[in-house]
Amino acid sequence: MSDIHIHINNKTYTTADSRRHTAISDFKLTLPENKFVCLVGPSGCGKTTLLNIIANLDTQYQGEICLDISHKKNNIGYIFQNPRLLPWRTVRENIELALDSPQSDIIDSLLKTMQLTDIQHRYPEHLSLGMSRRVSIIRAFAINPGILLMDEPFVSLDAPTARQVRGLLIQLWKQRPHTILFVTHDLREAIALADRLVFLSASPMSVISEIEVTIPRAERNNETAIESFRQHLLVQHPEIKELL
Ligand code: ADP
Ligand code: MG
């Protein structure tokens, strides 16, 4: 395994009135193996566009993505804002469907860590929003992806539920380390989760700053520690203020 290198020279869209809109320009980013990287940038700056390019859902761009993860069969996991569970399948069946072969022990262990063992035979309509997000996280980890992309996955959750799901995600990630690229516009959320923060400019998107989060993992559920790191960040890096 190795780091992932992303270099996008140019990504343009043709708008409805046939004009060209440059969404991403001269964008360079390296994702260190098994690190948790959070992208923070204003709405409409190009974050989803970037994830779609990395996931190979969008091939209309100039540049290259070096993902040396060929030894892994299912090399990209993608968790969207909406969990996209199949309503006519149970929680467990939704997870099994992501796998090529039955792996009961892995699913049991993932359900246990995410505290969903008791509801594994429920259908999605009987799940809370937080539970649905936890199922989509399990489904993505189950395929053991070379990179896990997460696009504002907790945006619709209330604050206590979001905090709980973030804690469970980190627990799972510690047990099963993966390279994660997580998009958010919430700086406190990014500080609670990330090893490294990447701040992005408004359209056309490029990297403004990369900052390591130095709060020990054991203190990441301490709101005061998060807030004081945030204040410190805004003083040390005034260039990020206008992006938030
Ligand atoms: P973000 O996820 O950061 O909010 P997006 O990647 O969705 O931003 O969009 C970046 C920019 O590209 C926005 O200005 C958006 O309007 C534009 N855009 C996104 N998708 C399309 C599309 N299919 N056609 C034209 N413009 C698009
Ligand atoms: Mg988006």
| 76 located within any domain | yes
| 12 located within any domain | no
Number of domains in the chain: 1
* Contact present, 135 and 79 (Cβ < 8 Å): no
Identify the residue whose C-alpha is closest to ligand 1 atom 16: 44
Ligand nearest, relative to CA of residue 18: 1
| 217 located within any domain | yes
Who contacts 189 (Cβ-Cβ below 8 Å, separation ≥6)?
38, 154, 162, 166
Report pLDDT digits (tens) over 137-159. 999 999 999 999 999 999 999 99
User: Quick one: pLDDT at residue 168?
Assistant: 97
pLDDT tier at 68, thresholds 50, 70, 90:
low
Q: Reduce the DSSP state of residue 162 to 3 states and report it.
A: helix
pLDDT above 90 for 71: no
214-228: average pLDDT: 95
Ligand 1 touching residue 43 (CB < 6 A): yes
Domain of 201? 33-58+70-243
Residue of 17, 49, 61, 152 to test ligand 1 pocket, by largest number of atoms within 8 Å of CB = 49
| 110 located within any domain | yes
| 178 located within any domain | yes
Buried b (16+ CB within 10 A) or exposed e, 42-67: beebbbbbbbbbbbeeeeebeeebeb
Cα dist from 244 to 41, 132, 151, 200, 228, whole Å: 7, 28, 17, 10, 17
User: Quick one: pLDDT at residue 167?
Assistant: 96
| 180 located within any domain | yes
User: Quick one: pLDDT at residue 74?
Assistant: 56
Ligand nearest, relative to CA of residue 50: 1
pTM, full prediction: 0.95
Who contacts 33 (Cβ-Cβ below 8 Å, separation ≥6)?
1, 2, 3, 4, 179
User: Quick one: pLDDT at residue 26?
Assistant: 94
- C-alpha span between 173 and 34 (Å, rounded): 9
| 21 located within any domain | no
Q: What is the CATH number of the domain that holds 197?
A: 3.40.50.300
| 27 located within any domain | no
Average confidence score pLDDT of the chain: 93
